[in-house]
Amino acid sequence: MKVISTFPFIFLFIYAPFLRFSGVTFHLPYFVILFLSAFGILSVLKDKNLIFPVSVLLEFFLILIFYATIVSYLKQSFDRDFYYSVFSGVFVVMAALGVSLIYDKAYGENSTSSLTWHLFYAGVIHSIIMIVVFFSDTVSSMLYSIIPLTDKGQHFVDMGIRSPGLTSGGGDSLSGIQGLFAILGFYTLLRTWKDLKLAEVVAVIVGLYLILASLARISHEGIKESG
């Protein structure tokens, strides 16, 4: 039951797609980030032990803003994208804190292990989506009728060279995320395989294969495209 109340947060934090219905785009990633960051901020205000480490982290963003302001003044130019990235980073960090605190409250001492496994599961589920969408034109048409694609993502789908999955663009950033979850799966399996049942070990190995299969296909086609 805890999985149902926690896993969706970690999955949407990573893969929440933009949705489009009747020509209106619903910015689901923004809603997820705002909700989780609000939870993180409220948790910090309630727990004084969190104030100092979070303050130190936020000071880093203040330094970036101060640096950008000085550079903008000296060059007489204003980099709006940089400021947007910095402010977005603050919300993402607070949202990540919110996810961490949700898992800490739900699983207690087992929160680290549960969060690690759930990150791996998220990668596996998205790998399945990527593979199915890549090989099924019907599923691809249905999915991307409600998920708007960037020009790059649309090019990948039209040419049949990559699968953006639930993301709008896909590409190298998605490959990096999937690759990270493959490493995470290997690491977690090596650390805990003695405590797992045979069926669980097999399930993890299958999950790793799915991540690697989707990653290999994406990388292979990406190399062919760039070449």
More confident residue, 92 or 152: 92
Average pLDDT of the residues in 109-123: 89
In the structure, what pLDDT confidence band is assigned to residue 125 with cuts at 50, 70 and 90? very high
How many domains does the chain divide into?
A: 1
What is the model's pTM? Answer: 0.82
pLDDT value at residue 227:
46
How much is the pLDDT for 145? 83
Range of the domain at 59: 2-226
Query: Which pLDDT band holds residue 161 (cuts at 50, 70, 90)?
Result: low
Name the more confident of 221 and 136: 136
pLDDT, position 95? 92
pLDDT interval class at 37 (50, 70, 90): very high
- Proportion of the chain above pLDDT 70, given as a percent: 85
Q: How far out from the chain centre does Cα 43 lie?
A: 22
Q: What is the mean pLDDT of residues 129-142?
A: 84
Which whole number is the average pLDDT over 55-69? 80
Q: Between residues 115 and 23, which one has the greater pLDDT? A: 115
Strands 19-21 and 24-26: antiparallel
Q: Is the confidence at residue 189, as pLDDT, over 60? A: yes
